[in-house]
Structure 1
């Protein structure tokens, strides 16, 4: 080994030793001096909440600002924001009363400043705004509730009815943050019933209860054993072992419909329900291995007829009953599923029909788009409800 190589080896070894040396942690300067208080406090009252703005004291070791307050229900709340914020939000108020909020500044040594007392006067909470918008009408197997939630707040709408023991208890809870919408209760008898609806927020605040007496419209689950394929010109060719009969075998994990290679969008298939019915709803179930992806139908039209034209055309013999677009609850990318996605998939996608829909016997299930924007349609089961009287 020459001298140059020898000294290079020593230098590399020294560098390796130095790089492995553990860095000593920097000591944190502790003190027992409380920080200063917030100043220039202003309040912006909001619906069920208030925004409090302020300026921070000049202490160099500030950590956060926290707010302590208590609602009329006796629940204590604490809100914290970092030193990089100059405002915080206090929320969870169920009325428009006046509330006291205490603001504290906390430093890195966990010293706490004296309190600054702030008065807030929240505007009308969202539960009451949405409560005034509620409308209840009879629906097949229950009632339909419409609502407007202009603030898109996270709310629960709870429907009450008398149970078998005569107790006025919840039968349906709808969680929503939509700007507006509607939902229905199901599986109730067509007898006059006392119904109620109230609104709840995520802090447990409740509106009062809207109460009405209504009679649900009659509906029954249609007999799947009477349903069978009708082949008309233009219907999508089948493939990959799929068939229309698989949609009516009562199994949501085996027996399936699958269109063939020659199928193109839009595409449809036709079937005879075996009875003439005023339809209330249709539920389809996706292929389990591919929830919200691949060939499962996404944008669908449901057509009805009593005497389809044998040439297969969409002429006056067919009536468009409903159009629907399936929605993935979580909004996650394809291949990622939340528990809400799985629960919704297991429950099936429900298509509701207008109350003024005509009675029909024949159905055309027309897919305009699947989840992959491809040319196949593949799913597992259909269930239908309506009134055959």
Structure 2
């Protein structure tokens, strides 16, 4: 009974709010210093000596008339106002607020934010033709969360977004694909989380030709050094067109590194390879993590890595979210369903036979298990 009464009394007190409430405003902050940052400004100050001070807030108005506000605890001696889309002078109003929500007289300062991240990244963009589209390289020195948007004419001839890359990487690149090998007008601009936009870079580029290779022509070529299979796995399962069934799985005798070999059925200058992880086990267990792709036109029948094999690419799979094993974000799931893609260099030689070599799986174990492979390239 005593516990129940205590709970009831606690709820009643919570609803009452402050025991005392006054109409006395706190003093303003003082001794403000300004550090202008990229798209932001850090304000350092001295809080008033008011016992019931609760927080400090600062606000400014954007060029579009939007009011943005930042609040920090009374225990902070600084705050950062963010989201500036240019380097204009902005008036920032600072208030001290007490526990009765009384507001001090305003203190107005002027900040001059440095070049915002959207412009820094926009000015760094380098666009080059890629297989089926373009590749965009960028530098993001502030490591701000940004969206890089690619525009092109859609089926209705409307110049509209066809791909968006979300990133906070310091340096990176991404490709936009699925386009014909004809001169194409592209636009690229950068957007931040506050809706600030860079100007649009306009380029005309001709995507390099690529085509999805016919999976029905692909078949395993078992050589003496290839990893033993087990648990119902087969190389044929990688080319059955099904990412949910039919799989490759090595057996108990397999050790790292390990590989398997297959014949594409055609000789091609490769542009891409995508593999699909085991459903329900994304970024964990026996899925390949660090791999090498080798190519040959005349593999040695003894299975050795001799002069007949050429290293085409080395690749490490990265979990987009960086979350611990067993935890998946929507970005992780979307990336897994889209397939893990290796892009081959433009100078990759034409080959017919592929050796998929796994150096490490996600569990650091000795098995390799995944569900499908798709290949793109030029057979002409």
Same fold, judged at TM 0.5 (above):
yes
Q: Which residue does the alignment assign to 1:314?
A: 305
Q: Which residue does the alignment assign to 1:359?
A: 350
**Superimposed CA distance per residue, residues 147-204 of structure 1 (whole angstroms, 9 cap, x where no aligned partner):** 1111111111111112233222111111100011111111100001111111111111
Q: Which runs of 5+ in 2 are unaligned?
A: none
Cα distance in 2 for residues equivalent to 1:328 and 1:131: 26
Q: Which residue does the alignment assign to 2:113?
A: 122
Q: Which residue does the alignment assign to 1:12?
A: none
State the 4+ residue runs in structure 1 displaced beyond 3 angstroms. 17-21, 23-27
Distance 1:60 1:362, change over 3 A: same
Q: TM-score, normalised by structure 1?
A: 0.94
Q: Which residue does the alignment assign to 2:172?
A: 181
Residue 233 in structure 1 maps to residue 224 in structure 2: yes
Instruction: Specify the SS of the correspondent of 2:122.
Output: helix
Residue 136 in structure 1 maps to residue 135 in structure 2: no
Q: TM-score, normalised by structure 2?
A: 0.96
Q: Which residue does the alignment assign to 2:63?
A: 72
How many residue pairs get aligned? The number is 373
Q: Kindly report the root-mean-square deviation, in angstroms, between the aligned alpha carbons of the 2 structures.
A: 1.3
Query: What is the 5 A alignment of 1:195-274?
Result: 195-274=186-265
Cα distance in 1 for residues equivalent to 2:2 and 2:365: 59
Q: Which runs of 5+ in 1 are unaligned?
A: 1-16
Q: Which residue does the alignment assign to 1:59?
A: 50
Residue 168 in structure 1 maps to residue 159 in structure 2: yes
Instruction: Specify the SS of the correspondent of 1:282.
Output: strand
Distance 1:20 1:253, change over 3 A: closer
Instruction: Specify the SS of the correspondent of 1:132.
Output: helix
Instruction: Specify the SS of the correspondent of 2:6.
Output: coil
Cα distance in 1 for residues equivalent to 2:125 and 2:64: 25
Q: Which residue does the alignment assign to 1:14?
A: none
Cα distance in 1 for residues equivalent to 2:77 and 2:330: 37
**Superimposed CA distance per residue, residues 64-108 of structure 1 (whole angstroms, 9 cap, x where no aligned partner):** 111111111222101111111111111111110000011111111
Cα distance in 1 for residues equivalent to 2:219 and 2:45: 70
Q: CA deviation at 1:22?
A: 2.4
Residue among 22, 26, 42 paired with 2:6: 22
Cα distance in 1 for residues equivalent to 2:355 and 2:92: 61
Query: What is the 5 A alignment of 1:36-47?
Result: 36-47=27-38
